[in-house]
Amino acid sequence: MPRRYSHDVLVIGSGAAGLSVAIQIAAHARVAVICKGKLDEGSTAWAQGGIAAVLDDTDSIDAHVEDTLRAGAGLCHEDVVRFTVSHSRESIQWLVDLGVGFTKLVTPDGNEDFHLTMEGGHSHRRIIHAADATGRAVSDTLSGQVRRHESIEVFEQHIAVNLITRDGRCCGAYVLDIEKNSVDLFAAPFVVLATGGASKAYLYTTNPDTATGDGIAMAWRAGCRVANLEFNQFHPTCLYHPRAKSFLVSEAVRGEGGVLRLPGGERFMDRFHPQAELAPRDIVARAIDHEMKRLGIDCVYLDITHKGEAFIREHFPTIHARCLELGFDMSREALPVVPAAHYTCGGVLIDLQGQTDVPGLYAAGETAFTGLHGANRMASNSLLECFVFARAAAQSIAAQLGSVSSPSGIPDWDASQVRDSDEDVVISHNWDELRRFMWDYVGIVRTTKRLRRAQNRAHLLQLEIAEYYSNYRITADLVELRNLALVAELIIASALERRESRGLHYTLDYPQTSAQALDTILTP
């Protein structure tokens, strides 16, 4: 039998944004946290580099803002950038107070201070990190706080299916209990979408399997606008190895002196940008893609051997150890790397409080579009965005608690007209087809012809998935496929709307950048 739950706040997603909202609102509310797998298995745990923040006396908010605006290729919302950067120090202090063990160094005067590293697009060392496993350190700390809080109830192995709206307001969600194979009702006057991005729409990605655009798809079906979904960031350096699924080599490797080389040992990034390996990610990824296609090679090479084994073991222990497992010693040889889908810069449109178009529905993190990233996210601004907007959403919700209650009479999920599927191969086939045509036609370099081809494929898939969804009992795989196919359509539609090349969106049919910078906003 399906169950019914009632909470003050329903948080869908267990990454940095979702858990931060839950922790900060739990003093005032009963909170449910929904996560597909285990609590600490979100994309946050995969983050290697760190969190961008103004912490050093030689740095400034203005400098961080200027770097972000430059990387965003004219599309960043300056008020949002300044709002985010201005709250960076307090966000880091909150994490420190929770117990995140950021890497420290001994200063010349004998005191300890946080070690800050450099990454692409930044003009100062401002990336605070926990060695090369910052995401894991943050995720473990936040997960521990959530598990210990008596006001937070965690539902692992659950996946949200659809949001529930009544009288124009979001008031909960239908959620599939994966282990019991039942769809339960979670009622709450406030719902927060923090499900991450949609990089699993692409064949090659640095993201975990959970990054299927669920929050974006659910918000769209509930009536929310989305923005700038054509800007898909491809991380320039994902390890090229058949057994290294989704393993990226952190930007910090280049920040600490790593250089990109062709198979013959020649450096090439200085031909594409004055900052060479530390150019913004879109430029580095496009340069690698260009060289691979020009020379017909499978990968390029990232070389930091000149820094020596002791330096590499100290600064990149996780990457070094994983590479050794795969047969590479990065202290003695260059690593084979390729670009891979990494970050969804667009998402569900929200304001500075995290509020979407639908009252009662909030979004934070990679699911959301704030205007911070513009046409290209600058390295390590994403985790910062999670914490800043999680706090803003929690404060907004806290101010309204008690003034809104969940409506009564919400019906249970109706599964009376469906049956168990006898052809799940359709799901795996469609999943594979979707990710392949997105990689081939909606990748780093695009054309209108390729996008139209992808649009036709996506439309046919949507029809097939809708028929399947209507007739068979849902599974987690079907829910993810349905969401990913919808988000893929929105990505393609957004890319066709933008008739210029800007940042992460590069099309051979419109290679120039327009004089006027406008967001691409789609309305249901």
What's the CATH code of the domain at 505?
Answer: 1.20.58.100
What lies within 8 Å, CB to CB, of 451 at 6+ separation is 441, 442, 492, 495, 496
- Does residue 130 sit in helix, strand or coil? coil
CB atoms near residue 475 (< 10 Å): 17
* Global pTM value: 0.90
pLDDT digits (tens, 9 = 90+) for 250-268: 888 998 999 999 999 999 9
Give buried/exposed letters for 296-327 (b at 16+ CB in 10 A, else e).
eeebbbbbbbebeeeebeebbeebbebbeeee
CB atoms near residue 270 (< 10 Å): 13
Nearest to 229 by CA among 442, 453, 466, 462: 442
| Residue 508, pLDDT above cutoff 90 | yes
245 band by pLDDT with thresholds 50, 70 and 90: low
Distance of CA 435 to the CA centre of its chain: 17
Report CA-CA distances (Å) from 209 to 64, 201, 268, 306.
32, 10, 33, 35
Spatial separation of the C-alpha atoms in residues 103 and 115, rounded to whole Å? 6
Whether 346 maps to a domain, the answer reads no
Examine the residue annotation and report whether 322 is marked as an active-site residue of this protein.
no
Average of per-residue pLDDT values in the chain? 93
Could you say which of 281, 377, 391, 457 is catalytic? 281
Give buried/exposed letters for 373-392 (b at 16+ CB in 10 A, else e).
bbbbbbbbbbbbbbbbbbbb
CATH number reported for the structural domain that contains residue 305 in this entry: 3.90.700.10
Spatial separation of the C-alpha atoms in residues 299 and 291, rounded to whole Å? 9
- Does residue 171 sit in helix, strand or coil? strand
Question: Which of 319, 339, 359 is the endpoint of a domain?
Answer: 339
DSSP 443: S
Whether 126 maps to a domain, the answer reads no
pLDDT digits (tens, 9 = 90+) for 122-170: 999 999 999 878 989 999 999 999 999 999 999 999 999 999 999 999 9
CB atoms near residue 146 (< 10 Å): 24
pLDDT digits (tens, 9 = 90+) for 188-200: 999 999 999 999 9
Distance of CA 67 to the CA centre of its chain: 20
pLDDT digits (tens, 9 = 90+) for 438-466: 988 999 999 999 999 999 999 999 999 99
- Does residue 342 sit in helix, strand or coil? strand
Whether 178 maps to a domain, the answer reads no
Out of 173-187, 377-391, 416-430, pick the least confident.
416-430
Residue scoring higher pLDDT (43 or 321): 321
Question: Which of 282, 309, 339 is the endpoint of a domain?
Answer: 339
pLDDT recorded at residue 180: 93
Question: Which of 339, 358, 384 is the endpoint of a domain?
Answer: 339
Out of 2-11, 18-27, 48-57, 413-422, pick the least confident.
413-422
Whether 447 maps to a domain, the answer reads yes
pLDDT recorded at residue 396: 97
Cross-sheet strand order for the sheet of 521-522: 368-369, 347-349, 226-227, 521-522
Spatial separation of the C-alpha atoms in residues 29 and 6, rounded to whole Å? 12
**Angle subtended at Cα 351 by Cα 347 and Cα 357, rounded to the nearest 5 degrees:** 70
Whether 468 maps to a domain, the answer reads yes
Spatial separation of the C-alpha atoms in residues 490 and 484, rounded to whole Å? 10
Whether 298 maps to a domain, the answer reads yes
Residue scoring higher pLDDT (369 or 428): 369
Spatial separation of the C-alpha atoms in residues 363 and 353, rounded to whole Å? 9
Q: Which domain holds residue 290?
A: 236-339
Domains: count for the chain: 2
The identity of residue 155, as a single letter, is: F
pLDDT recorded at residue 422: 66
Average pLDDT (364-386) is 95
What lies within 8 Å, CB to CB, of 224 at 6+ separation is 348, 349, 356, 357, 358, 361, 524
Out of 80-89, 429-438, 488-497, pick the least confident.
429-438
Whether 259 maps to a domain, the answer reads yes
Nearest to 251 by CA among 127, 157, 97, 389: 127
Nearest to 444 by CA among 292, 293, 336, 289: 289
Average pLDDT (201-214) is 90
DSSP 424: T
391 band by pLDDT with thresholds 50, 70 and 90: very high
Whether 430 maps to a domain, the answer reads yes
When computed from its CA atoms, the radius of gyration of the chain, rounded to whole angstroms, is 22
405 band by pLDDT with thresholds 50, 70 and 90: confident
Q: Is 46 in contact with 210 (CB distance < 8 Å)?
A: no
Nearest to 378 by CA among 62, 68, 137: 68
Q: Is 299 in contact with 274 (CB distance < 8 Å)?
A: no
pLDDT digits (tens, 9 = 90+) for 157-199: 999 999 999 999 999 999 999 999 999 999 999 999 999 999 9
Spatial separation of the C-alpha atoms in residues 362 and 380, rounded to whole Å? 23
- Residue bearing tokens 């803003």: 392
